[in-house]
Structure 1
């Protein structure tokens, strides 16, 4: 007999990835969080680089692998371009020799009621690259800009 899904538990379904929000700190001395709408986010990964070691007198002819330095990717975020919205380029333009406006960024995956189900927190994030849209005279798409954030750590919570 075919399974119509009626016996499926409500808690077994994975979350869809299209309902999310991005918040970042309001700046020095501010507890306010600013919220931005993005079309796409990628680069939410972290990896412990393995260190291989073998003592010269080991009776086992293979290496032992230990966790080494933790490495995170830059996070890339894409959003539509709006009139008079230059926040990201303004943030990027604050880069000077050995100084940059670093901030905490939180990316929340939301459930159907808008409550966070999973969060990715970027520590001391700063824009390393801002890319404008491509322009085509016969294009029929929305103008999208990209910002790439470097950060000093990724904390994942559910």
Structure 2
């Protein structure tokens, strides 16, 4: 009976809230960047299997759909514009990519936390590198925060559950 209750409790856990997360850029795959941690929004965490359609000779009623390859969307990170005398390693990496076409892929860890700060899961993005950088519109009639939007391509990601 105790095992059944444990299974029910596991299945009925409260949904995780989306506002407790951290983004960690891992230099050399291990050492986290201590400056670029806080982001307003993370999106693009998705993948899908691309299918190939094969027609069978003489069979006109249906086609075979078989897995071909996996596609990953870009990881999109948004945060308030940072104007600081301390250079941001992330901004330096983006500047190197767009100004001198120099890329240094690194791993990126997106972690979701409980209310008490304990990590409960996340995703690790392998060999991530900059592919797009944009800044929100500047509007003299608005009183809103300037948002930096940074996009990273990556080779694959792994789901982490703790």
Structure 2 CA distance, aligned partners of 1:31 and 1:64? 43
Q: Tell me the residue number matched to 1:65.
A: 65
TM-score (norm 1): 0.81
Matches within 5 A, 1:1-158: 11-26=12-27, 28=28, 31-35=30-34, 36-58=37-59, 61-84=61-84, 86-95=88-97, 96-97=100-101, 99-158=102-161
Q: Secondary structure of the residue that 1:142 maps to in structure 2?
A: coil
Structure 2 CA distance, aligned partners of 1:17 and 1:69? 30
Structure 1 CA distance, aligned partners of 2:83 and 2:151? 21
Structure 1 CA distance, aligned partners of 2:112 and 2:43? 13
Deviation at 1:118, TM superposition (A): 2.0
Q: Tell me the residue number matched to 1:6.
A: none
The unaligned stretches of length 5 or more in structure 2 are 1-8
Spell out structure 1 runs of 4+ moving beyond 6 A: none
TM-score (norm 2): 0.79
Taking structure 1 as reference, are residues 12 and 31 closer, same or farther at Cα in structure 2, changes over 3 Å only?
Answer: closer
* Structure in which a larger fraction of residues adopt helix: 2
Q: Secondary structure of the residue that 1:91 maps to in structure 2?
A: helix
Contact 1:88 1:130 in 2 (8 A): no
Structure 1 CA distance, aligned partners of 2:116 and 2:32? 20
